[in-house]
Amino acid sequence: GQQVMQIPQYQHVQEGEDFTTYCNSSTTLSNIQWYKQRPGGHPVFLIQLVKSGEVKKQKRLTFQFGEAKKNSSLHITATQTTDVGTYFCAGHYGNKLVFGAGTILRVKS
């Protein structure tokens, strides 16, 4: 079946360090979405990438969609304590919205 693999599972960083999470799909995607879930909260949509090779930025967050539209990454520059949480990628497979396992980010101040 369709799968979205995401690594790493956990990342502990010192405040100010960079962070990256990677997402790979078993099949080509029409688009990929990223969500953030704060501890104790629910996932919240961050962004959607549609085009091959697309790069989008939101302040310190940079999102990339691979040329083959099968992989994506989220990079956070100079992490802050407000960045803690779990970051998920998600892909649409027909009518299904399938999520990766998520990357838990912890930031040490």
Partner 1 sequence: DAGITQSPRHKVTETGTPVTLRCHQTENHRYMYWYRQDPGHGLRLIHYSYGVKDTDKGEVSDGYSVSRSKTEDFLLTLESATSSQTSVYFCAISESSAGTEAFFGQGTRLTVV
Minimal distance, residue 16 CB to partner 1, in Å: 27
Amino acid (one-letter) located at 82: T
Two structure tokens written together for 13: 């960083």
Span near partner 1 by CB under 8 A; candidates 13-21, 26-34, 60-68, 73-81 = 26-34
Amino acid (one-letter) located at 105: L
Minimal distance, residue 63 CB to partner 1, in Å: 14
User: Nearer to partner 1 by C-beta: 84 or 98?
Assistant: 98
DSSP 79: -
d(CA 7, CA 97): 19
* Of 45, 57, 78, 108, the one binding partner 1 by CB under 8 A: 45
